[in-house]
Amino acid sequence: MNQLEKLKQLSEKMIGIVIAEADPDTWPGADKKLSEMDESERGDRYWSKKNANQVISTAVKLETLIALHERKGTAPKEDKIPEIEKKILNFEKAAKARIAKVANG
């Protein structure tokens, strides 16, 4: 199996993890208002949100690696680098939106 195939397999696994980690119904205190949570629940909920954010960031970076690997061998000309960086940022933004859409069902 080549590296691109491995990256794509990891990406598929990450989507499942993103869906599980980003689901606020699974976070501590999910059935309570913030004012009803004790300190421990608020802290655990905060950690869960941070963890979900990091999982999403990892998934987006993985998608970026896949895109870069697929473009391998097509090195940009120096005057095109800022344009490509803008495209990468747009791709990351689109990937985050796609993941958020998948996570929200």
Burial class (CB in 10 A: 0-12, 13-18, 19+), 95: buried
Determine the Cα–Cα distance for residues 50 and 46; give it in Å rounded to an integer. 6
Rounded to two decimals, what is the model's pTM?
Answer: 0.60
The pLDDT tens digits for 27-78 are 999 999 989 999 999 999 999 999 999 999 988 888 888 888 777 755 556 6
Residue 81's pLDDT is what? 63
Residue 79 has pLDDT above 80, yes or no: no
Alpha-carbon distances, residue 80 vs 43, 64, 88, 90 (angstroms): 45, 18, 12, 15
Residue 76's pLDDT is what? 54
